[in-house]
Structure 1
Amino acid sequence: MVLKGKGKYRSEETKDKISAYLYISPFFIIFAIIGLYPAIFSLYLAFQKWNGLGDMTFVGLQNFSIVLNDPIFWKSVYNTIIIGLMGTAPQIIIGIILAFILNQAYLKFKNTFRAMIFMPYITSMVAVALVFGVFFSNNETALANYVLNFFGMDSVAWKTSEWGAKIAISIMVFWRWIGYNTIIYLAGLQSIPKELYEAAKIDGANITQQLRFITVPLLKPFIILTVFFSTVGALQLFTEPTVFLGAQAFTRTEAMTVVMYLYRDAFNLQSFGTGSATAIILLLIIIIFSAINTFVTSGIGKKRRGSKS
């Protein structure tokens, strides 16, 4: 009787496990179809020569050699890194400052300000790029050029000049993502005990010292998270420069990113082999930069504590 009871218990336990796996199976099925399979196929395609219609031809590492010896590819890597640094690095500093201000008890209409800061993130990227395209137009009457002329500076051809395109796209990226990082930092600030700030005020610490010695060290997990996401997002930049530059996006190299280079090879030139090879190289670049940035940001506060001991 005891054995029968154990067998029945194990049978019920097995049914529960099967039922649980069935409930979560749609996620894994969808992931396998639209995530895992394309990744594996892209890896396979990186070693093939294929135009999307005819037969595939195995070429070994030839696609990687073509990409790595292409000056336009290295130009796109340079553009991606520069635009990424200009567009995402200021978000870390300004996002922490904005979150610190929004977390102050004396600030009125906090919810309104939080919604206003987060609004660009939920705005359509195409609409944002079109508005910035008008703002940073090459025309003399464009708002950006009007501001430059007002201060006695020359107009800039924002969509065709080397640094004009990079600056315009970086500002667009910063404007859209600053609210996202600010909300994450704000959530982190609300987990910091208020007693620490009260004690710091009693000891005579000003706002700058509170930010430096309390806010930044205790926000380190959130900073690491935002740096990681910002790094991955910056290296995958595509929509902003593509919509901003319009028809010139894939014919000029002033602001061509790695993903734009990949898209051009695969869908404009019908060279899916080199496009897939570019995707593999981009994955390695993302892993390297993410590891470096995570290592650097994880060291926040360590040197200060070590010097005291």
Structure 2
Amino acid sequence: MSESLMELNKPVNKYPIKKRKWKPTTVAPYLFVSPFIITFLIFSLYPFISAVIMSFQEVNGFNDTTWIGLDNYRRLLNDGDFYAGLWNVIRYGFWTILILIPIPMLLAFIMNRKTTFFKSLFRAVFFLPVLTSTVIAGLVFRFAFSSEKTGVFNSWLGHLNIGPIEWLQGSQTAMIALVVIAVWRWIGVNMIYFLSGLQGISPELYESAEVDGANGWQKFISITMPLLKPITIYVLTISILAGFSLFNESYVYWGAVSPNNIGTTLVTLIYKSAFADGEFGYACTLGVALFVIVIVVNFIQVKFMGLFKEE
């Protein structure tokens, strides 16, 4: 009798805990996402964390590491090669952005016109360079920028009684050589980006503007430019990233070490510190500094472009 009373006096749980049943429909998304997460953890997050730790160490081998604190960062602040490489990538980024945004936009506008003939042919011609190996293209341009009279560019200048110019030996001419190969390689890709944006703009907007008496320039400023803003921000972002990650072209032109640092970039400096000098700890410090610089520059860029503003 007492036991039955105790059973009756037990508190009743109004919200019983339901056991989660794992169904195939709930497990499947995790299975599909897991390869990406595992790959990211192994090949991105773990190397990044290891690089940050190594930036505070002197690494002489796999099992020979010494904790040196901020010594590598103090060395970085006094490293002339670092500032030379940073200045080179800033100049390179400035000139490539100045060329590789307005010109591809203009070409995309021409390709988008109904009166333009052989559109598919021109698209293929402009896009073809990006399919070419960077190393092979760099070698071709290296011979084209040869200081000899037989070099392609010196041969052209020879007809104007100019030169020959030692393209790969001077700071200004070396930058021209880097920018020329970048423009040749990426102008078609950026044109395709802008062309896709132009094709997404409704023709009715232009027709309405014509009814209101807007001319071509007014339609471009009031309709085309605002609607191409997302594409412009994307192209600007990848151009900035490409500038700071510049390596192949510089390495093909000069190798890891260029005369008077005219072709030194942050990535070539990382390569030189790690594989030529064997200073893996300092190379990781340079990598961390490059990461911070890119994050700050891109944050300023998207903030300036108004990406965080509510429409």
TM-score (norm 2): 0.87
Structure 1 unmatched ranges of 5 or more: 1-5, 300-309
Q: What is the match of residue 267 of structure 2?
A: 259
Q: In structure 1, what is the Cα distance between the partners aligned to 2:38 and 2:178?
A: 37
Q: What letter corresponds to residue 203 of structure 2 in structure 1?
A: K
Q: What is the match of residue 286 of structure 1?
A: 294
Identify which of 252, 271, 296 aligns with 2:304: 296
* Aligned length in residues: 290
Q: In structure 1, what is the Cα distance between the partners aligned to 2:276 and 2:290?
A: 19
> Does residue 194 of structure 2 align to residue 155 of structure 1?
no
Q: What is the match of residue 69 of structure 2?
A: 60
Q: What is the match of residue 9 of structure 2?
A: none
> Does residue 276 of structure 2 align to residue 276 of structure 1?
no
Write the deviation string for residues 96-147 of structure 1: whole angstroms up to 9, x where unpaired: 1111111111112211211211111121111111111111112122111122
Structure 1 residues 146, 209: closer, same or farther in 2, change over 3 A?
A: farther
Offset, 1:53: 4.2
Offset, 1:72: 1.1
Q: What letter corresponds to residue 284 of structure 1 in structure 2?
A: V
Offset, 1:54: 4.9
Q: What letter corresponds to residue 262 of structure 2 in structure 1?
A: E
Structure 1 residues 175, 88: closer, same or farther in 2, change over 3 A?
A: farther
Write the deviation string for residues 148-188 of structure 1: whole angstroms up to 9, x where unpaired: 23233332211111111111011111211111111111111
Larger Rg: 2
The answer as to whether partners of 2:246 and 2:265 remain within 8 angstroms in 1 is: yes
Q: In structure 1, what is the Cα distance between the partners aligned to 2:163 and 2:276?
A: 36
Q: What letter corresponds to residue 266 of structure 1 in structure 2?
A: A
Identify which of 228, 243, 257 aligns with 1:250: 257
Q: What is the match of residue 120 of structure 2?
A: 111
Determine helix, strand or coil for the equivalent of 1:270.
coil
The answer to which of 277-286 and 27-36 deviates more is 27-36
The aligned runs of 1:25-174 (5 Å cut-off) are 25-174=34-183
The answer as to whether partners of 1:88 and 1:174 remain within 8 angstroms in 2 is: no
Write the deviation string for residues 178-205 of structure 1: whole angstroms up to 9, x where unpaired: 1111111111111111122234445554
The answer as to whether partners of 1:227 and 1:294 remain within 8 angstroms in 2 is: no
Q: What letter corresponds to residue 100 of structure 1 in structure 2?
A: F
Offset, 1:225: 1.0
TM-score (norm 1): 0.87
Structure 1 residues 202, 82: closer, same or farther in 2, change over 3 A?
A: same
Offset, 1:74: 0.3
Identify which of 7, 11, 33 aligns with 2:21: 11
Determine helix, strand or coil for the equivalent of 1:11.
coil
The answer as to whether partners of 2:96 and 2:239 remain within 8 angstroms in 1 is: no
Determine helix, strand or coil for the equivalent of 1:49.
strand
Q: In structure 1, what is the Cα distance between the partners aligned to 2:205 and 2:32?
A: 45
> Does residue 224 of structure 2 align to residue 218 of structure 1?
no
> Does residue 186 of structure 2 align to residue 194 of structure 1?
no
The answer to which of 31-40 and 202-211 deviates more is 202-211
The answer as to whether partners of 1:224 and 1:298 remain within 8 angstroms in 2 is: no
The answer as to whether partners of 1:162 and 1:254 remain within 8 angstroms in 2 is: yes
Write the deviation string for residues 28-85 of structure 1: whole angstroms up to 9, x where unpaired: 2122221111111101100000133451000001011112201111011001111121
Write the deviation string for residues 225-259 of structure 1: whole angstroms up to 9, x where unpaired: 111111111111111111122x4x42431010011
